[in-house]
Amino acid sequence: MTVDIGATRLRRLRRTPALRNLVRETRLDPSMLVAPLFVRPGRGVREPIGSMPGVARWSADRGADEAARLADLGVGGIILFGLPDSKDALGSEASADDGIVQETFRRIRELDLPLVTIADTCLCEYTDHGHCGPLAADGSVDNEAALERLAATAVSQARAGADIVAPSAMMDGQVAALRSALDAAGFGQTAIMAYASKHASAFYGPFREAVDSTPAFGDRRGYQMDPANGREALREMDLDIAEGADLLLIKPAITALDLIAAARARFNLPIAAYQVSGEFAMLAAASERGWLDGRRAMLEAVTAIARAGAGIVITYAAADIAGWLREDR
């Protein structure tokens, strides 16, 4: 049988909005979105972050209000990052039961919102040197001391109401350490979302302004991954699954679409991806200047992340996207 190539017209299904909607392969839904929230001490605080238009630091009371707004929009979850009252070499406030993240979780839990609550489990926001764990004598991060501190932090976060803890320090063995500590403390139902593939990226700049976590010396390339390494990223994922991870997280998202696709093809765990601060800021800044249609560009970027295989997308545009999707129904 000879096929008349001239009769093949893929444009037939692109002709109208209704046709395009009917055959769309990748569909976004607010329930797959997770909104990062930055929380800080105080009351009644909403403090805009200059490098991330529309994003703010919140006090615990206002942060709980923002969580309620996100829930009303249908957003699936929130992930909290804390700015402590004080910092020290150990990042002690990260595991304090009266810490800012813990206080915010308790307030959110009192509201009984249909949101998944996720805690970023790291120390860089809490240490006075800005690294992700206590330092060894030579100035490097002490991996084993960091595991002890991360485990204590995860237990404190779970006690305050976190459904999921997300270790982002890129310490070897961190998932196993958290799983053991959570189980021993009676939090066997608390899930772990492993930052399994976290590259040492230039796209984290605005985040470091938001939480004042720029390292006082050196950088984090001794423990975060080289952006050039993809096979190593998959090895990290294998190890984290073996240690007990319930979900995998890949970041930055837009520069790791290949890894998202590879993870989706290889693993049966839920795959999350983080559209990080620099990715968001680029689109927001270009939109402010009229260089891009901000709404279309943001939706296109997040759709690409989902198309690559992420079932969960962490994005600072979660509220906007949820609103846009509601408008388009």
Q: Is 61 exposed, middle or buried (0-12, 13-18, 19+ CB in 10 A)?
A: middle
What amino acid occupies position 309?
G
Written as six digits, the tokens of 99 are 């810490």
Please give the pLDDT value at position 2: 62
Q: Is residue 271 part of a domain?
A: no
Q: What is the CATH number of the domain that holds 205?
A: 3.20.20.70
Enumerate helices (H) and strands (E) in the chain, giving the number of each.
11, 10
Please give the pLDDT value at position 3: 61
Q: Is residue 51 part of a domain?
A: yes
Q: What is the DSSP letter of 49?
A: -
Please give the pLDDT value at position 60: 96
**Closest to 119 in 3D by CA, of 208, 197, 193, 30:** 193
**Closest to 316 in 3D by CA, of 225, 223, 241, 206:** 206
DSSP bridge pairs for 191: 164
Please give the pLDDT value at position 171: 85
β-bridge pairing 46-48 and 56-58: antiparallel
Q: Is residue 302 part of a domain?
A: no
Residue 107: which domain range? 26-248
What is the distance between the alpha carbons of residues 124 and 83, in angstroms, rounded to a whole number? Answer: 10
Q: What is the DSSP string of 73-111?
A: TT--EEEEEE--S--BTT-GGGG-TTSHHHHHHHHHHHH
Three-state secondary structure string covering 117-180: EEEEECCCCCECCCCCCCECCCCCECHHHHHHHHHHHHHHHHHHCCCEEEECCCCCCHHHHHHH
Please give the pLDDT value at position 129: 84
What is the distance between the alpha carbons of residues 189 and 183, in angstroms, rounded to a whole number? Answer: 8
Domain count, the chain: 1
* Omega cis (within 30) before 215: no
What amino acid occupies position 52?
M
Q: Is residue 316 part of a domain?
A: no
In sign, the C-alpha dihedral spanning 247, 248, 252, 255 is negative
Coil vs helix vs strand at 221: coil
Please give the pLDDT value at position 6: 66
Q: Is residue 221 part of a domain?
A: yes
**Closest to 158 in 3D by CA, of 127, 133, 189:** 189
Per-residue pLDDT of the chain (329 residues; tens, 9 = 90+): 566 666 788 999 999 999 999 999 999 999 999 999 999 999 999 999 989 999 999 999 999 999 999 999 999 999 999 998 888 888 888 899 999 999 999 999 999 999 999 999 998 888 888 788 888 888 888 889 889 999 999 999 999 999 999 998 888 899 999 999 999 999 999 999 999 889 988 888 888 788 777 776 657 777 788 889 999 999 999 999 999 999 999 999 999 999 999 999 999 999 999 999 999 999 999 999 999 999 999 999 999 999 999 999 999 999 999 999 998 87
Q: Is residue 182 part of a domain?
A: yes
Please give the pLDDT value at position 188: 97
Q: Is residue 243 part of a domain?
A: yes
Q: Is residue 32 part of a domain?
A: yes
Q: What is the DSSP string of 289-321?
A: TTSS-HHHHHHHHHHHHHHHT-SEEEETTHHHH
Active site residues per annotation: 198, 251
β-bridge pairing 77-82 and 312-315: unpaired
With 0.85 as the threshold, say if the pTM is over it.
yes
Q: What is the DSSP letter of 192?
A: E
What is the distance between the alpha carbons of residues 163 and 40, in angstroms, rounded to a whole number? Answer: 21
Which residues, other chains included, contact 137 with Cβ-Cβ below 8 Å and sequence gap of 6+? Answer: none
Do the Cβ atoms of 315 and 296 come closer than 8 Å? no
